[in-house]
Each structure stands twice: as C-alpha cells, then as structure tokens.
Structure 1
Amino acid sequence: MKNKSIERHQTLREKILESIRDAILRGSLRAGERVSEPELAERYGISRTPIREAFRQLESEGYLTVVPRKGAVVTALSERDVEEFYSIKSILEGYAANLAAQRLSDKDIEKLEAINNRLAKLASAGDVKTFFRVHNEFHEHFIRASGNSRLLELIQQLLKKFDRLRIASLSLPGRMEISVQEHRKIIDAFRQRDSETADLLVRKNAAYGGQVLIQSMNND
C-alpha cells in the first residue's frame, strides 16, 4: 500500500512537471506569470507537497523562480542568459569533442551514427520531446569518450540548469533537421580522428543553437 502511495505521489509530480513545462514552452504561461499552488492542488486533488517538489525541480531547470511569500513565477529569459549559456556550452563541449576524436572506437562511431539516424526519424515526425532526450544521448556519448569525468560532470550540471533554453531552441522550425546535419559532419570528423575539426564543429553547433533562439526572442 505504501509503495502505491509513493508511486502515485511520483506520477502526480511528473504530471505537474510536464504540464507546467509544456505551458511555458507553448507560451500559454508567460514570463513573470504566477503559477498557483492552490489551483494545482485543487485541479489534481492532491496535497501541496508534490507540487512544491515539482516547483523546486522546475526552478533548477530554469523554468520557474520561487519567490518567498509570493510563490512561483515563470522565469524571464534574457538574451544575456542565452549568450552566456551557449558560449560556455560551446567551449566545454568543443573541448570534449577534441579529446574524444582520438579515443572513440569504431563501435562508438557506429553508435553515434545509429543515434543520429534515430534523430533524423524523430525530426521528420516532429517529436521534439523524444528528440531532445535522444539528442542528449548523442552528446553524452562522445563527452564520456573524452575520458574526462570532471568535464562530463561540469557539462551535465550546466545543461540541467538550462534545459528550457535547449528545448526552446530545438522546437524552432527546421532546427531539429539542421541538428541532424551538423551531427553528420561531427561524426565524419570523429571518423577521421580530426580533433581540431570536431572541436570547431561542436562549437559551431552550440553557437548556432544560441543564435536562432535569440533571433526568435527578438521576433516575438
């Protein structure tokens, strides 16, 4: 009985997380708008504990800001946030690609190709959520191959905090298809054991993600 109660608690928390993330990404919850704890508790017929847990996670992912005595509000994104995140991401991931180019086995490269082929299908289907998850697998695979565990840890911490920016960028028209094309070039560089080109391509990939997001923010 206890396990069922824990499972229900976790399922509800996931539902709330998904619902708020989607509303923010769709734009039905806008920057600065309050997300009501009592309203969610009433809608789902639950206590506020799983809601507060969901809010804490969404705050760590950059979706919400929890203000004492005011509650949770949707975090505003600035151009500076985007520029700073993508410039750091490009340096760290570029360095990881540089190291990985000399360490990836033929089997690793085959795995990267298989992941990218899956991404191509997901892009055609317009499945951003699954694309985002599989896209993370692609990058994590070569970052792990760099052999630098501290670097992997730093990148993972950074990415978790800026999931919202990355999903927003991948959601833009044509962005998923371009990402698949960029990955093909990166795989070619890995196949040739060309550290310099792999580094440059991964940096360009990250920089482009930031540029298109800033462009879309300016067009809103």
Structure 2
Amino acid sequence: MTVFNPPKSNLLHIEVINAIINAIVSGSLKPGDRIIEQHIAEQMQISRAPVREAIRELVAQDIIKFLPRKGAYIAPLNPKNVQEVYLLRSCLEGLAARLATEWLTEADLNQLYLLNFKMGEATLKNDALAFIESDLAFHDLICHRCDHAQLIKMLEGVRVQTRLYMIMSKWNLVAHSQLNREMNAHQPILDAFRERNPEAAEQTIRAHIITSGNLLLEYLAGDEEKENPEKEPDESRL
C-alpha cells in the first residue's frame, strides 16, 4: 500500500512531515512502526535528503524516536508529553495574543471573524478537515502578529506537535459526532481582541488551549492501544 504520495510544493521536507503526520492520524502508521527513509523517498519520488531533514525535525519533537540497531520508529503518544506540550503552548500563545492585541488591524480582526465563521460551518457539517484548516489559520495569524521574533521561533518549535495533536483531537471528535464541543470556542478570544484587552486575550487563549489539550487526553485515556509505551518497532510495516 502506498502511504506517501509525490509532493505538490517545493518545500519537500514540510511535505514529508505532513505526510507522516497524516499517516499517523489515519492509522497507516502506528506507534512502534518503523520509518524507512528509502521507502518514503521512493514513494514520494524525491531524494532522501528532505526525508532525512523531516525525520530529524520529527525526532526533535518526539514524534519519531531511534533505537540502537533498530532505526527510526513512530513514538508512542505519551499523555504526560501531550499535557506538557499543551501547557507550554498555552503560555507561549497566551503571550503572543497579549502582544498581538496592539498590532491586529481591522483587516486582521475581520479575517479572524471569517475563520471563526468557517469553523462554525465545519462544525455543523462535522467536517474535520475544513475545521482544522481554519483553526490552524486562526492561531497562526495571531502568533505572527505578536511582533516578537524570538517568541515566533519558540512557537515554531512546537508547531509540528501542535498540528499532530490538533488533528488527532478533531478527528476523534468527528468520529464520535462531537465536533460541536468546539462550537464558538474562539468567540471569547475575538471579544478580547475587539475590546483591545491584552490581559483578557492572554487568559482566554490559554484557557482555550488547555481545554483542547484535555479533549485529546480524554481520547488517549480511552485508547487502549496507546497505553503500552514500551512497544517495540514493528519491522514488517513499511
């Protein structure tokens, strides 16, 4: 079965990262499955260099691990790690929201309202892909308006984990027809920005991210397959 398709852009290592994340979310890759650089390069019809770069980044973010003489494999999802990432993200994005309050233009606010509206539409249709696309764009816009280069770099440091966890969480809600639990989750953030209240913006986005993290932790707690963090890599896959 072909898991990895040829890329559509020139950002090859990003395409590889996204392909691996999508494979994890879809279940094509499971914790313990080996990641073979050559197989991915062949399936995506690219050189091994961007695959190697993608794997390095995923290792740095604890999505892929290495074992001596075993190679790279998909790391098990550790609830403690998930909790730590969401706590860190809530602090970083909270600060970004506080700083962005001063810099968001009227056009920015209109774009945030539009993205929130699209999320509402996706919720009504139980459409995870549309919801995730707008949700990521919503948070990215805020983070890139904070006018703080070092903070943006730190947020980029957890971006891949954030994307993986967000997708997993939303797909789980869709699978149980519960995406409506996210309905209007961004409204308090929008209200804080409209009022130009930096403290409220920080607190509301922090609370929102922690709540989202708890939804993923609920999913992990109910998934028995992810309760064995010592699973050895399965060399028969990929």
Query: TM-score, structure 1 length as denominator?
Result: 0.77
Equivalent in the alignment of 1:69: 69
User: Could you report, residue by residue, the CA deviation over 1:98-148 in whole angstroms, capped at 9, with x for unpaired residues?
Assistant: 222233232221111112222233344444345334322211222233322
Counterpart CA distance in 1 for 2:26 and 2:105 is: 40
Equivalent in the alignment of 2:136: 136
Q: What is the aligned-residue identity percentage?
A: 29
Equivalent in the alignment of 2:200: 197
Q: Which amino acid aligns with 2:204?
A: L
Residue 202 of structure 1 and its aligned partner are, at CA, apart by 0.3
Counterpart CA distance in 2 for 1:152 and 1:11 is: 20
Q: Is the 8 A contact 2:63 2:161 kept in 1?
A: no
Q: Is the 8 A contact 2:94 2:201 kept in 1?
A: yes
Equivalent in the alignment of 2:210: 207
Comparing 40-49 with 165-174, greater Cα deviation is found at 40-49
Comparing 203-212 with 145-154, greater Cα deviation is found at 145-154
User: Could you report, residue by residue, the CA deviation over 1:134-182 in whole angstroms, capped at 9, with x for unpaired residues?
Assistant: 3222112222333222222211222234432222122221665444511
Distance 1:195 1:164, change over 3 A: same
Distance 1:218 1:108, change over 3 A: same
Q: Is the 8 A contact 2:58 2:160 kept in 1?
A: no
Equivalent in the alignment of 2:21: 21
Equivalent in the alignment of 1:119: 119
Counterpart CA distance in 2 for 1:147 and 1:50 is: 30
Counterpart CA distance in 1 for 2:214 and 2:9 is: 39
Q: Which runs of 5+ in 1 are unaligned?
A: 1-5
Secondary structure at the counterpart of residue 66 of structure 1:
strand
Greater helix share, structure number: 1
Q: Is the 8 A contact 1:41 1:51 kept in 2?
A: yes
Secondary structure at the counterpart of residue 144 of structure 2:
helix
2:190 to 162, 184, 187: 187
Secondary structure at the counterpart of residue 72 of structure 2:
strand
Secondary structure at the counterpart of residue 201 of structure 1:
helix
Equivalent in the alignment of 1:169: 169
Residue 46 of structure 1 and its aligned partner are, at CA, apart by 7.7
Equivalent in the alignment of 1:155: 155
Secondary structure at the counterpart of residue 141 of structure 2:
helix
Distance 1:159 1:48, change over 3 A: closer
Question: For this pair of structures, how many residues does the alignment match?
Answer: 215
Counterpart CA distance in 1 for 2:16 and 2:146 is: 36
Equivalent in the alignment of 1:94: 94
Counterpart CA distance in 1 for 2:96 and 2:74 is: 33
RMSD: 3.4
Equivalent in the alignment of 1:217: 220
User: Could you report, residue by residue, the CA deviation over 1:65-106 in whole angstroms, capped at 9, with x for unpaired residues?
Assistant: 233531221111212101111111111111222222233232
User: Could you report, residue by residue, the CA deviation over 1:164-207 in whole angstroms, capped at 9, with x for unpaired residues?
Assistant: 22221222216654445111221111111222222111011110
Counterpart CA distance in 1 for 2:7 and 2:172 is: 35
Counterpart CA distance in 1 for 2:163 and 2:98 is: 24
Counterpart CA distance in 1 for 2:117 and 2:29 is: 34
Q: Which amino acid aligns with 1:201?
A: T
Residue 219 of structure 1 and its aligned partner are, at CA, apart by 0.8
Distance 1:157 1:44, change over 3 A: closer
Counterpart CA distance in 1 for 2:122 and 2:82 is: 25
Distance 1:179 1:43, change over 3 A: same
Counterpart CA distance in 1 for 2:9 and 2:68 is: 24
